[in-house]
Amino acid sequence: MGPGCSSLAYGALQELGPFRVHSDGKTLFRNRYAWNNAANVLFLESPAGVGFSYTNTTSDLDKHGDRNTAADNYIFLVQWLERFPEFKGRDLYIAGESYAGHYVPQLAHTILRHHPTSFLNLKGILMGNAVINDETDLMGMYDFFESHALISEDSLVKLKNNCDLKTESASVMTEECAVVSDQIDMNTYYLDIYNIYAPLCLNSTLTRRPKRGTTIREFDPCSDHYVQAYLNRPEVQAALHANATKLPYEWEPCSSVIKKWNDSPTTVIPLIKELIGQGVRVWVFSGDTDGRIPVTSTKYSLKKMNLTAITAWHPWYLGGEVGGYTEEYKGKLTFATVRGAGHQVPSFQPKRSLSLFIHFLNDTPLPDTSRY
Amino acid sequence: MGPGCSSLAYGALQELGPFRVHSDGKTLFRNRYAWNNAANVLFLESPAGVGFSYTNTTSDLDKHGDRNTAADNYIFLVQWLERFPEFKGRDLYIAGESYAGHYVPQLAHTILRHHPTSFLNLKGILMGNAVINDETDLMGMYDFFESHALISEDSLVKLKNNCDLKTESASVMTEECAVVSDQIDMNTYYLDIYNIYAPLCLNSTLTRRPKRGTTIREFDPCSDHYVQAYLNRPEVQAALHANATKLPYEWEPCSSVIKKWNDSPTTVIPLIKELIGQGVRVWVFSGDTDGRIPVTSTKYSLKKMNLTAITAWHPWYLGGEVGGYTEEYKGKLTFATVRGAGHQVPSFQPKRSLSLFIHFLNDTPLPDTSRY
Same domain, yes or no: A209 and A305: yes
Q: Are B268 and B233 in contact (CB under 8 A)?
A: no
Same domain, yes or no: A239 and A258: yes
pLDDT at B369: 85
Same domain, yes or no: A245 and A159: no
- Total structural domains within chain B: 1
CATH value at residue B240: 3.40.50.1820
Q: How many pairs of residues across A and B have Cβ atoms under 8 Å apart?
A: 96
Asked whether residue B213 is domain-assigned, the answer is: yes
Contacts of B321 in chain A (CB under 8 A): 190, 199-200, 202
Same domain, yes or no: A50 and A181: no
Instruction: Give the start-end residues of each E strand in B98-239.
Output: 121-128
Same domain, yes or no: A27 and A156: no
Average pLDDT across chain B, whole number: 95
Of the candidates B366, B364, B367, B368, the one whose C-alpha atom is nearest the C-alpha of residue B124 is B364
A191 part of contact set with chain B, CB < 8 Å: yes
B212 part of contact set with chain A, CB < 8 Å: no
Asked whether residue B119 is domain-assigned, the answer is: yes
CA closest to A311 among chain B residues: B152
- Active-site residue identified among B66, B137, B224, B290: B290
Same domain, yes or no: A63 and A168: no
CA atoms within 13 Å, Cβ hemisphere of A317: 16
Asked whether residue A219 is domain-assigned, the answer is: yes
Complete DSSP assignment for A116-134: TTSS-EEEEEEEES---BH
Enclosing domain of residue A254? 8-133+204-362
Backbone angles phi, psi at B312, to 5 degrees: -80, 160
Same domain, yes or no: A56 and A177: no
Q: Are B258 and B48 in contact (CB under 8 A)?
A: no
Residue contact A325–B150, C-beta within 8 A: yes
pLDDT at A308: 97
State the smallest CA–CA distance between residue B289 and chain A in angstroms. 9
Asked whether residue A158 is domain-assigned, the answer is: yes
Asked whether residue B181 is domain-assigned, the answer is: no
Count of Cβ atoms closer than 10 Å to residue A30 Cβ: 10
Same domain, yes or no: A19 and A79: yes
Binning pLDDT at 50, 70 and 90, where does residue B76 land?
very high
Residue contact A339–B196, C-beta within 8 A: yes
Same domain, yes or no: A269 and A333: yes
Complete DSSP assignment for B258-327: --------SB-HHHHHHHHHTT-EEEEEEETT-SSS-HHHHHHHHHHTTPPBSS-SEEEEETTEEEEEEE
DSSP single-letter state for residue A117: T
- pLDDT per position as a tens digit, A133-165: 999 999 999 999 999 999 999 999 999 999 988
**Whether pLDDT at B372 is above 60:** no
Residue type at position B315: P
Same domain, yes or no: A285 and A183: no
**Whether pLDDT at B96 is above 70:** yes
A290 part of contact set with chain B, CB < 8 Å: no
What is the complex's ipTM, to 2 decimals? 0.95
- Let me know if B143 is a catalytic residue: no
Binning pLDDT at 50, 70 and 90, where does residue B172 land?
low
- Cα separation of A154 and A159, whole Å? 9
**Whether pLDDT at B371 is above 70:** no
Asked whether residue B179 is domain-assigned, the answer is: no
CA closest to B148 among chain A residues: A288
**Whether pLDDT at B169 is above 70:** no
Of the candidates A46, A51, A14, the one whose C-alpha atom is nearest the C-alpha of residue A29 is A14
- Cα separation of A122 and B84, whole Å? 78
Asked whether residue B157 is domain-assigned, the answer is: no
pLDDT at B6: 96
CA closest to A180 among chain B residues: B312
Asked whether residue A194 is domain-assigned, the answer is: no
Residue contact A320–B200, C-beta within 8 A: yes
Residue contact B153–A299, C-beta within 8 A: yes
Low-confidence ranges of chain A (pLDDT < 50): 1, 372
Binning pLDDT at 50, 70 and 90, where does residue B240 land?
very high
* Of B154, B299, B320, Cβ closest to residue A200: B320
Same domain, yes or no: A144 and A23: no
* Of B144, B197, B312, Cβ closest to residue A289: B197
pLDDT at A371: 60
A315 part of contact set with chain B, CB < 8 Å: yes
Residue type at position A162: N
Which residues, 6+ apart, have CB-to-CB distance to B213 below 8 Å?
Answer: A213
Residue contact A152–B320, C-beta within 8 A: no
Same domain, yes or no: A180 and A305: no
A352 part of contact set with chain B, CB < 8 Å: no
Mutate to test the interface with A, among B200, B203, B285 (most CBs of A within 10 A): B200
Residue contact B152–A327, C-beta within 8 A: yes
